[in-house]
Amino acid sequence: MATVVEPTNENIRSLAEVLRDGGLVAVPTETVYGLAANGLDADACRRIFEAKDRPAYDPLILHLLEPGWIDRIAVGGEAVARLAERFWPGPLTVVLTKKPIVPDIVTAGLDSVAVRVPSHPAMRSLLAACDVPLAAPSANPFGYVSPTRAEHVVDGLGDRIDYVLDGGSCQIGVESTIVDLRDPERPVLLRPGGVTPSQIRGVLGDRLAVGETASEVTEAAQAAPGQLSRHYSPKVRVELHHRLEPAALPDRDTDEALVFLSRPGSPDLPSHWHWLSESGDLEEAAARLFALLRELDAGSFRTVHVELAPEEGLGLALNDRLRRAAQRSQSS
Ligand code: TXA
Ligand code: MG
């Protein structure tokens, strides 16, 4: 069973040693927990795919201590420098043309690599101590909800990995925004996340286009029919609603749980009613979403009804994850 360790200087030093020796360590980031390995060591990265049961066509993100590390692994440029200035360290990933030093297993054979500079202090200490880019996908079995606490990592992967570095609850709670910058004249949003499209447009201008993720594209091409794109899915059936009207809902305990965006306004609320944020604050809602889905998944509910966020700002990332969570129930 995995050992959960606190980010003391001594522990950081010994986990850096584990990573340099080709081992795996689950790490906290400001978005979600990642499962890290030396990103320049193909054998170490292969262990990530084995531990997660992750298909080899789904490429990994390389985590760097500083934007200056980009030159070691990829082709930088002005657009990435401007985004870095504004959003790094933080929840933004950019896709760049890779250099040959990056193993094929990291990029699933693509000629591009995804990179980001995380802000979580424990992750940054670890990167400084290893002095190598760390490849890290979210630290969950492939297809399940991403972990936002050390205990979530233990629940999902505890019998497959040796160490979890405990950095507390993830502040952002949804994965990073991914922008394809291979052609800086045509940046493409591949995944909404902690940095909003309007924040990115504030730096790059209106040319940001919205695209499909590499994994969805390659999956569509390679996977057996019926196996497509089931990401972030809890086991329980999830149904989405533009608005959950409290007055129209049963107040008795049922086998259906309800998740409102903000706290409904009556004093005595049934125990199967939940909300993502008291006041409907989207940052708070995002930080709580995955932990609540896991909690409800552990209950014996038949269906979880969830209210969608407004389609703007961080609401885009929240709704993207909710739609993916709901996908399983629609396709099986
Ligand atoms: O916030 C995050 O990004 C977290 C933390 C741990 O950093 N990581 C994360 O990794 O969410 P993961 O593996 O669950 O999602 C990374 C996704 C891949 O599924 C793929 O869609 C995309 O990044 N990706 C990676 N390399 C790519 C590439 N070369 N081109 C396009 N998309 C890529
Ligand atoms: Mg993931």
Contact 239, 304 (CB under 8 A): yes
Rounded to 5 degrees, φ, ψ at 133 are: -60, 140
Q: How many CA atoms lie within 13 A of 308 on its CB side?
A: 18
How do beta strands 209-210 and 188-191 pair?
A: parallel
Per-residue pLDDT tens digits for 229-262? 556 789 999 999 999 987 777 766 678 999 999 9
Q: Flag whether pLDDT at 328 surpasses 70.
A: no
- CA of residue 60 to ligand 1 center, whole Å: 5
Nearest CA to ligand 1 atom 10: 137
pLDDT (tens digit per residue) in 196-205: 999 999 999 9
What's residue 211's pLDDT? 80
pLDDT tens figures, 5-21: 999 999 999 999 999 99
Expressed in angstroms and rounded, the spacing between residue 254 Cα and the centre of ligand 2 is 32
Q: Measured from the CB, is residue 136 less than 6 Å from ligand 1?
A: yes
The whole-number pLDDT of residue 29 equals 98
Q: Are 113 and 134 in contact (CB under 8 A)?
A: no
The predicted pLDDT at position 42 comes to 98
How many Cα atoms within 13 Å fall on the side-chain side of residue 232? 23
Which atom of ligand 1 approaches the CA of 112 most closely? 29
Predicted TM-score (pTM) of this structure = 0.94
The C-alpha atoms of residue 4 and residue 37 are separated, in whole angstroms, by 17
- Ligand 1 atom 13: residue of nearest CA: 137
- Give the tokens for residue 22: 């080709």
- Looking up tokens 């925004």 gives 177
215 ligand 1 Cβ < 6 A = yes
Lowest mean pLDDT among 154-168, 208-222, 228-242, 265-279: 208-222
Pocket test for ligand 1, best of 33, 175, 217 (most atoms within 8 A of CB): 175
* Separation of CA 246 and ligand 1 centre (Å): 37
- Between the CA of 243 and the centroid of ligand 1 the distance, in Å, is 31
Residue 112: CA count within 13 A, CB half-sphere: 16
Q: What is the pLDDT of residues 19-28, one digit of tens each?
A: 999 999 999 9
Residue 215's pLDDT band (cuts 50, 70, 90): low
Dump strand ranges (E) for 19-75: 25-27, 34-38, 61-63
- pLDDT value of residue 266: 81
Q: Is the CB of 196 under 6 A from ligand 1?
A: no
Per-position DSSP letters for 257-321, written without gaps between them:
EEEEEE--S-SS--TTEEEEETT--HHHHHHHHHHHHHHHHHTT-SEEEEEPPPSSTHHHHHHHH
Averaged pLDDT, 271-281: 95
Sheet containing strand 61-63, strands side by side: 3-5, 163-165, 25-27, 34-38, 134-135, 61-63, 112-116, 92-97, 177-180, 188-191, 209-210
Going from the Cα of 39 to the center of ligand 1, the distance in angstroms, rounded, reads: 13
Question: In whole angstroms, what is the distance from residue 239 CA to residue 244 CA?
Answer: 11
Q: Looking at the predicted structure, is the pLDDT value of residue 221 above 70?
A: no
pLDDT at 329: 46
pLDDT per residue as tens digits for the range 136-195: 999 999 999 999 999 999 999 999 999 999 999 999 999 999 999 999 999 999 999 999
Task: With cut-offs at 50, 70 and 90, classify the pLDDT of residue 227.
Answer: very low
Query: 226 pLDDT band (50/70/90 cuts)?
Result: very low
Residue 207 is which amino acid? Answer: R
Pocket test residue of 24, 58, 61 for ligand 1, highest count of atoms within 8 A of CB: 61
177 lines ligand 1 (CB under 6 A): no
pLDDT tens digits for range 31-73: 999 999 999 999 999 999 999 999 999 999 999 999 999 999 9
State if residue 213 touches ligand 1 by the CB under 6 angstroms criterion.
Answer: yes
Give the model's confidence band at 216: pLDDT under 50 very low, under 70 low, under 90 confident, else very high: low
Q: Whose CA is nearest to atom 30 of ligand 1?
A: 214
For position 265, what pLDDT does the model report? Answer: 87
DSSP conformation letters of 106-146: HHTT-SEEEEE----HHHHHHHHHH-S-EE--BSSSTTSPP
Ligand 1 centre to CA of 279 (Å) is: 31
pLDDT digits (tens, 9 = 90+) for 98-127: 999 999 999 999 999 999 999 999 999 999
106 lines ligand 1 (CB under 6 A): no
Q: Which ligand is nearest to the CA of 48?
A: 1
Ligand 1 in reach of 40 Cβ (< 6 A): no
- Ligand 1 centroid to Cα of residue 190, in Å, is 10
Please report which confidence band the pLDDT of residue 327 belongs to, taking 50, 70 and 90 as the band edges: confident
- Whether residue 29 has its Cβ less than 6 Å from ligand 1: yes
| C-alpha 60 to ligand 2 mean position (Å) | 9
